[in-house]
Amino acid sequence: MAKIIEVSQLSFSYPEEDGNPSSPALHDVSLDIEEGEFLAILGHNGCGKSTLAKHFNGLLKAESGSVKVMNMDASEEQNLLEIRRNVGMVFQNPDNQLIATVVDEDVAFALENLGVPYPEMVQRVDEALELVGMTKYRHHAPHRLSGGQKQRVAIAGVLAMRPRCIVLDEPTAMLDPQGRREVMKTIRRLNREQGITVVLITHYMDEAVQADRVVVMGEGEIILDGTPREVFQNVGLLHSLSLDVPQTAELMFALRQEDIKVPIAVLSVEECLEVLEKMLGGAKK
Amino acid sequence: MLKDVTIGQFFPGNSFVHRLDPRMKLLLTLLYVVALFLVPDFWGFLVIGALMGLVVAFSGISLRVVFRGLKSLIFIIVFTAFFNILYGGGEPLFPGISWLGWLKAEGVRNALFMIIRIILLILGTSYLTYTTSPVMLTDAMERLFRPLKVLRIPVHELAMMMTIALRFIPTLIDETDKIINAQKARGADFETGNIVRRARALVPILIPLLISAFRRAEELADAMECRCYHGGEGRTRYKVYSFSWRDWVALALMLAALSLIILMVIF
Ligand SMILES: Nc1ncnc2c1ncn2[C@@H]1O[C@H](COP(=O)(O)OP(=O)(O)OP(=O)(O)O)[C@@H](O)[C@H]1O
Ligand SMILES: [Mg+2]
């Protein structure tokens, strides 16, 4: 498969404040993201997830090392527009990323910037709203929508560019459970049906297990990288990074500490139930 | 309480006034303001009032919304009235009552005149923003004032700033409400004491508000860059406008009112 984003040996520090040199926010990070995959990035507060994400579309420039998006160098000014068109980004707070006061005008913002001609613009706005299921609300004022709906509008605003990849930085952190479900469903569908590469930064383990691949960061470095099953085997390590693991994995971990032989990475409730039944001697009703 | 501020808000709709071309609406509002300041006497307000009545009737937005918004401006209105009465000349209004001697006929007349003028001014401009989405409004400004680019006036940038300011008014109002409640919960008192005390009580509201506004601005800038914003060059617009019969009807009415008022001034 083709690589859409290639990060190699990236380091980055924010400018120092009042002469206090800051420790690097990213240190020697290398990461390849494949076209079409669903990647989740985990890590405790301040470990550099957002900083890394901002390198994916040139919001921040690599200090050393390199970031390539579709074989274009993300530190070259003349590539930025093309990179940003292909790598969309959605942030945590929907209130701070909506520019217009009517839903469809907001979705059109990126298209106006790209100089898309009028008839095509209308068509692409319709298409983007359809993809996130917000067509009904096209003439509404965003500040009267629910959090989940606002965030879907923000996603539509990015989708209108027809990007190959969407990076979402904790898109569900400010939402209620209902809003979280709506947004996750939308993200999964975009990945499966539209083949859009998804990079999801999250603090929620139940969201991370839905990904094809999980990357765990700590103190500006990548610590684990693998399928959810592989990553969540390292319960002890994740705990030491002050991260949770899915509850089922937690249970298996506790059982194993009691010397009970169970598999390590059990990620769904059904699977967990099966394991427990087997353990209790196949006590099937 | 702050939720009542409706200035600069937009109420989506499909009425006659909503469907006017935003450029025309902007022009009409300018003419309206000119007419309002030309008005020589109370009869003139009748003309302007009639015009405003038509706007209200054909916009589908009830006057109640506007008056809720007016409440928050009551201070400016009272202030204006007060100074007009204080500095007005003429005969005392109640010659018999000595302690009401400061109430002079001229002053009261002026105060009334000013109050009506301010209210009509607010009404006119409010209905512009109520019926025109900020994007359309600033779009219209950008188009109307484009010739000023020759004078190196950054028309696009100013229009974009307006769009964002209008967009964030409701957000910041919500936020102010939240901060006020949070400070009240901590025992802050905004309702008693003299003006100095009350002004000082505002500090713990303004500082968190300012800090959060800066944070929002930073995030918004990132979000705009992510969506390929790179200034006004090469931008296309989502809205295309053309003048229709509505615009010409509205313009004709406005010009009629304006001429009537000019006649009043002359004769
Ligand atoms: N604009 C900035 N200026 C200076 N330092 C910053 C800035 N943004 C982040 N940092 C610092 O860089 C480090 C990494 O921050 P980053 O925002 O990437 O973390 P994060 O993993 O996204 O955390 P969170 O889970 O809280 O979003 C932190 O130590 C943070 O304090
Ligand atoms: Mg972050």
* Helices assigned H by DSSP within B132-194: 134-144, 155-185
Chain A residues with CB within 8 Å of chain B CB? 54, 57, 59, 81, 84-85, 88-89, 91, 93, 95-102, 104-105, 108-118, 121-122, 125, 139-141, 143, 157-158, 161
C-alpha span between B88 and B104 (Å, rounded): 7
CATH 3.40.50.300 is held by the domain A3-234: yes
C-alpha torsion sign, points A141, A144, A148, A151: positive
- Is the confidence at residue A172, as pLDDT, over 80? yes
CA angle A210, A127, A79 (to 5 degrees): 75
Average of pLDDT values for A44-60? 92
Burial B131-162 (b: 16+ CB within 10 A, else e): bbbbbbbbbbbbbbeeeeeeeeeebbeebbeb
pLDDT of res. A34? 93
So where are chain B's domains?
A: 2-266
What pLDDT score was predicted for residue B193?
73
pLDDT tops 80 at residue B189: no
Q: Is residue B30 pLDDT above 80, yes or no? A: yes
pLDDT value at residue B223: 94
What's the whole-number mean pLDDT along residues B238-263?
A: 90
Q: Indicate the pLDDT class of residue B29, thresholds 50, 70 and 90.
A: very high
pLDDT of residue A49 exceeding 50? yes
Query: When comparing pLDDT for A10 and A271, which is higher?
Result: A10
For B34-76, write each residue's pLDDT tens digit.
999 998 888 889 999 999 999 988 988 888 877 777 777 788 7
More confident residue, A109 or B77: A109
Look at residue A6 in the predicted model and tell me its pLDDT.
Answer: 93
Helix (H) or strand (E) holding A87: strand A87-90
Tell me the pLDDT band of A283, cut-offs 50, 70 and 90.
low
Instruction: From A241, A243, A234, A244, select the one nearest A265 (Cα to Cα).
Output: A234
Mean pLDDT on A252-266: 79
What pLDDT is recorded for position A213?
Answer: 94
| B133 Rama sector, left if φ>0, alpha if ψ -120 to 50, beta otherwise | beta
Structure confidence at residue B73 (pLDDT): 76
- Among all bound ligands, the one having the nearest atom to the CA of A54 is 1
Tell me the C-alpha distance between B16 and B221, whole Å: 36
Q: Which of A51, A54, A243 to mutate to test the pocket of ligand 1 (most atoms within 8 A of CB)?
A: A51
- pLDDT grade for B1, boundaries at 50, 70 and 90: very low
Evaluate if residue B134 carries a pLDDT over 60: yes
User: Is the pLDDT assigned to residue B100 strictly greater than 80?
Assistant: no
Q: What is the pTM of this model?
A: 0.81
Cross-chain CB nearest to A113 (options B166, B223, B229): B229
Pocket test for ligand 1, best of A20, A44, A45, A50 (most atoms within 8 A of CB): A50
Q: What does the mean pLDDT of chain B come to? A: 84
Averaged pLDDT for residues A127-145: 90
Ligand lying nearest the CA atom of residue A242? 1
pLDDT at A67: 94
Q: Is the pLDDT of residue A256 over 70?
A: yes
pLDDT band, very low/low/confident/very high, at A169 (cuts 50, 70, 90): very high
The arithmetic mean of pLDDT across residues A166-177, rounded, is 92
Q: How far is the CA of A52 from the centre of ligand 1 (A)?
A: 10
| Residue from A177, A176, A179, A173 nearest A153 by CA | A179
Q: Say whether pLDDT at A138 is over 70.
A: yes
Give the domain ranges of chain A: 3-234, 246-285
pLDDT of residue A87: 95
| Alpha-carbon distances, residue B107 vs A227, B12, B71, B77, B114 (angstroms) | 81, 41, 24, 15, 10
Is A283 exposed, middle or buried (CB count within 10 Å of its CB: 0-12, 13-18, 19+)? exposed
* Residue of chain A whose Cα is closest to the Cα of B170: A143
Percent of chain B exceeding pLDDT 70 equals: 93
For residues B67 and B128, give the distance between their C-alpha atoms in angstroms, rounded to a whole number: 15
- Adjacency order of strands within the sheet including A213-218: A87-90, A165-169, A197-201, A38-42, A213-218, A221-226
Considering CB atoms only, which of A89, A95, A102 is closest to B133? A102
Q: Give pLDDT, residue B2.
A: 55
Cβ–Cβ of A88/B226 closer than 8 Å?
Answer: yes
More confident position, A282 or A91:
A91
Residue B99 has pLDDT above 80, yes or no: no
